[in-house]
Each structure stands twice: as C-alpha cells, then as structure tokens.
C-alpha cells in the first residue's frame, strides 16, 4: 500500500513537472524565485546502473552518469555555475547561481563525475573523509550490507542463526536485487544504533564472512586522484575524519576531527581548505563555533533550501540529488526550484 502511494505521488510530481516545464511555468518560477539566490546541490555517488549490483549504498545517494550529464547540461542552461570564491558575496547579478558539491569522496566521483564536470567546464567541491582516503576502508553502512549479503549466501547453521537474530532471515530468502535492496534498507534502519553497537554487529558477521577487500565499487578516492581533481579546478573540502556524526561527539573530538582533516588535506595538496560538509548534515551551535574557530569559511549542511548573502555560512542549505528525484529534465528543474 505504501509503495503504491509513493508511486502515485511520484507519478503526480512527474506529470505536474512536465506540464509546468512545457507551458513555461517552470522557467517563470525559476527566474522569480531564484534571482540572487544560489542553489547548492549535494551529490554523493555517480555510479553506473550496471555496477549497482556490486554496491551496498542506498539509492538515496546514487546518480547514474547519464543522468549526471543531463543535470550539468540543464544547470549550464539555466544557472551560472559558481565556486566558493563568489559564494555569499552579494553578487548583484540577477542570474540564479548553482554550486555543485559531492559528499564522501567516493572513487566513482573521480571515475565518472570528474570527466563529465570537465566536459561542461564546471567547478565543484568534493568533501573527503580523511580516514578513508587511500585506504580499503568503507563506511559502516556499505560494509555491513556486504557482510549481511554474503552471510545470506553461506547456508550454514551459524549464518542462519545470525540472520535470524537480526530478523532478516525472511528478507534474505528473496533473490537478487530484491534481496539486495531489502538488506540495504535494513542496514539503513540501524542508523539510530550507537557506533559501539554497530561495531559489535559487524564483528559478529566478520566471524562468519571473509570480508577481504569488500566490494570493489564501494571505495573512496586515493590522494593521487584527489590531487588531480585539485589541480583541475575541483575544490577539495573536509568531510571530517571518521565520518561520525559530529553532534554526537564531545567538543574536543569535534575540534580534533575538524583540525586534523583540514591540516592533513592542506599538507597533501599545498592548498587552503575553506569548506567542510558535516557528516549526515547534523549541525548545532557548538559545531558552528568550532568550524569558525578552526578557520573554515563555510560549513555545508543537508537542510533543504536555497542560499543568499543573509544565509548562515556555517550551516548552508543544500538540495540532495539522486536518480529518484532527477532522472529527467522537468523533474530535475522542479526539484532545484523546490516546487514540491
Ligand atoms: Zn557523508
């Protein structure tokens, strides 16, 4: 029933977006609503559909390269694409502006997004989590998804008992992409657990599954790749070190995460790090204070909205983009404007 409801909503949005687009309403609202405003887009992964069966990332963070190419053509047509040098500077131009950002420093940003950014000559910011760069580590969500998927294939008493303990034995009886997305959804539902609890779950599965190098597509960039981006007009920002939610850490830990990530990136690139994106977008006044005192110029959150010169520069609003909200031009533009 819920699925049917969300399909109807999606279809309605699509129909309205098409009507608005082809009658010129979208273009009119865009000019009215976004003059002197900047739309900051949040991308995570740009991963081809044919590699999705190797990945344990949630669809909320996935965009296909062909869609990303379409997005840039739309952005270049309707917006002035900017970088942080002019963000919030009170530019008196009326033209709507767009800033493109990527969270997490996924390796596919280098492999798929970067060539398309170069094709359109678009600047962007990539926020990298220090502890994952040039390593085989990946986030707990992708790692746990991989472990559960492989545990479900073991067909042993131990694996059955473990899947049963976490109540996923039933969903693991389905096959292929259905099973994969059910596991990914289940892992996402664990977000409220503490890092200690998540570590314990991981350890239980590691006792029965040989993790090895994990999924080859769920990897982060290397320093060589990051240096190449930096040399070619892509700004590198911090995404802290551990990717832990900053509002759940003690002030000293937040200081350490922000200071260490900034200094290490600067030492590696011989460039000043001006920006940070907070992991999961979680923000409060303490985070804002530390960000300012550590010398960052901008902090990016995940709250939905557009920005202008009056915005809080330490909690900049953004619009999250994935294939489900942006697989065609009219819906993508409606999403950017915030029609829905
Ligand atoms: Zn992140």
At residue 298, the pLDDT reads: 97
In the chain, at which residue ranges do the beta strands (DSSP E only) sit? Answer: 38-43, 45-46, 62-63, 80-81, 97-103, 124-128, 234-238, 275-277, 298-304, 316-320
Q: Are 17 and 331 in contact (CB under 8 A)?
A: yes
Question: How many whole angstroms from 279 Cα to the centroid of ligand 1?
Answer: 5
User: Which of 151, 172, 206 finishes a domain?
Assistant: 206
At residue 91, the pLDDT reads: 60
Q: Each residue of 184-199: pLDDT tens digit?
A: 999 999 998 999 999 9
Question: How many whole angstroms from 301 Cα to the centroid of ligand 1?
Answer: 10
Question: How many whole angstroms from 122 Cα to the centroid of ligand 1?
Answer: 22
Question: How many whole angstroms from 104 Cα to the centroid of ligand 1?
Answer: 5
β-pair partners for 81:
98
Nearest to 239 by CA among 319, 300, 150, 178: 300
Instruction: Return the ∠ at Cα 294 (arms to 292 and 296), rounded to 5°.
Output: 60
| Number of other residues whose CB lies within 10 A of the CB of residue 154 | 14
Residues 192, 147 share a domain: yes
**Whole-angstrom distance, CA of residue 277 vs CA of residue 239:** 5
At residue 92, the pLDDT reads: 65
Instruction: Return the ∠ at Cα 287 (arms to 191 and 85), rounded to 5°.
Output: 110
Question: How many whole angstroms from 73 Cα to the centroid of ligand 1?
Answer: 26
Question: How many whole angstroms from 267 Cα to the centroid of ligand 1?
Answer: 22
Question: How many whole angstroms from 278 Cα to the centroid of ligand 1?
Answer: 7
Residues 308, 169 share a domain: no
Question: How many whole angstroms from 137 Cα to the centroid of ligand 1?
Answer: 14
Residues 150, 123 share a domain: no
In this structure, is residue 213 part of a structural domain? Answer: no
Question: How many whole angstroms from 277 Cα to the centroid of ligand 1?
Answer: 8
Full residue range of the structural domain in which residue 19 is found: 2-136+218-337
Residue 74 to residues 20, 27, 120, 336, Cα–Cα distance (Å): 16, 12, 11, 11
Question: How many whole angstroms from 303 Cα to the centroid of ligand 1?
Answer: 14
Q: Are 279 and 240 in contact (CB under 8 A)?
A: yes
DSSP string, 119-140: HTT--EEEEE-GGGTTSS---H
Give this prediction's pTM: 0.94
Question: How many whole angstroms from 156 Cα to the centroid of ligand 1?
Answer: 35
Question: How many whole angstroms from 59 Cα to the centroid of ligand 1?
Answer: 14
Residues of the chain with pLDDT under 50: none
Residues 127, 230 share a domain: yes
In this structure, is residue 86 part of a structural domain? Answer: yes
In this structure, is residue 212 part of a structural domain? Answer: no
Q: What is the CATH number of the domain that holds 65?
A: 3.20.20.370
Residues 237, 180 share a domain: no
Question: How many whole angstroms from 20 Cα to the centroid of ligand 1?
Answer: 33
Question: How many whole angstroms from 105 Cα to the centroid of ligand 1?
Answer: 8
User: Which of 155, 171, 206 finishes a domain?
Assistant: 206
Question: How many whole angstroms from 276 Cα to the centroid of ligand 1?
Answer: 11
Instruction: Measure the CA dihedral 283/335/100/139, to 10°.
Output: 50
At residue 93, the pLDDT reads: 66
Nearest to 42 by CA among 280, 246, 228, 255: 280
Question: How many whole angstroms from 243 Cα to the centroid of ligand 1?
Answer: 6
Number of domains in the chain: 2
Question: How many whole angstroms from 93 Cα to the centroid of ligand 1?
Answer: 32
At residue 330, the pLDDT reads: 94
Question: How many whole angstroms from 182 Cα to the centroid of ligand 1?
Answer: 22
When computed from its CA atoms, the radius of gyration of the chain, rounded to whole angstroms, is 21
Residues 283, 235 share a domain: yes
At residue 170, the pLDDT reads: 79
| Number of other residues whose CB lies within 10 A of the CB of residue 115 | 11
Question: How many whole angstroms from 302 Cα to the centroid of ligand 1?
Answer: 10
Question: How many whole angstroms from 331 Cα to the centroid of ligand 1?
Answer: 25
Q: Each residue of 48-88: pLDDT tens digit?
A: 999 999 999 999 999 999 999 999 999 999 999 999 998 88
What phi and psi values does residue 154 have, to the nearest 5 degrees?
A: -75, -35
Question: How many whole angstroms from 103 Cα to the centroid of ligand 1?
Answer: 5
């Amino acid at each position: 029933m819920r699925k049917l409801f969300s399909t109807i909503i999606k279809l309605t949005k699509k129909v309205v977006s098409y009507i608005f687009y082809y009658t010129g309403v979208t273009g009119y609202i865009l000019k009215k609503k976004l003059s002197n405003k900047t739309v900051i887009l949040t991308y995570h992964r740009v991963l081809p559909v044919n590699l999705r069966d190797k990945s344990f990332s949630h669809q909320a963070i996935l965009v296909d390269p062909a869609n990303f190419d379409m997005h840039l053509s739309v952005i270049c047509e309707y917006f002035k694409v900017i970088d942080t040098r002019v963000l919030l500077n009170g530019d008196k131009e009326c033209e709507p502006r767009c800033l493109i950002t990527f969270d997490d420093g996924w390796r596919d940003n280098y492999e798929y997004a970067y060539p398309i950014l170069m094709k359109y000559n678009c600047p962007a910011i990539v926020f990298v989590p220090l502890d994952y760069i040039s390593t085989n580590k990946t986030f707990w969500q992708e790692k746990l998804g991989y472990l559960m998927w492989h545990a479900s294939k073991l067909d042993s008493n131990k694996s059955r008992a473990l899947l049963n303990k976490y109540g996923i034995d039933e969903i693991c009886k389905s096959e292929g992409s259905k099973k994969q997305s059910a596991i990914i959804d289940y892992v996402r539902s664990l977000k409220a657990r503490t890092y200690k609890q998540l570590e314990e779950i991981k350890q239980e599965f590691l006792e029965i599954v040989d993790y090895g190098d994990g999924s080859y597509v769920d990897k982060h960039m290397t320093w060589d790749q990051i240096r190449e981006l930096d040399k070619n007009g892509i700004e590198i920002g911090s995404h802290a070190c551990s990717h832990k939610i900053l509002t759940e850490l003690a002030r000293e830990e937040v200081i350490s995460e922000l200071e260490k990530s900034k200094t290490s990136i600067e030492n590696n690139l011989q460039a000043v790090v001006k920006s940070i994106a907070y992991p999961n977008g979680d923000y409060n006044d303490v985070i804002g204070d530390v960000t300012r005192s550590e010398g960052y110029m901008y902090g990016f959150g995940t709250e939905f909205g557009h920005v202008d010169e009056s915005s809080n520069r330490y909690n900049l609003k953004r619009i999250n983009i994935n294939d489900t909200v942006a697989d065609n031009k009219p819906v993508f533009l409606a999403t950017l404007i915030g029609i829905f």
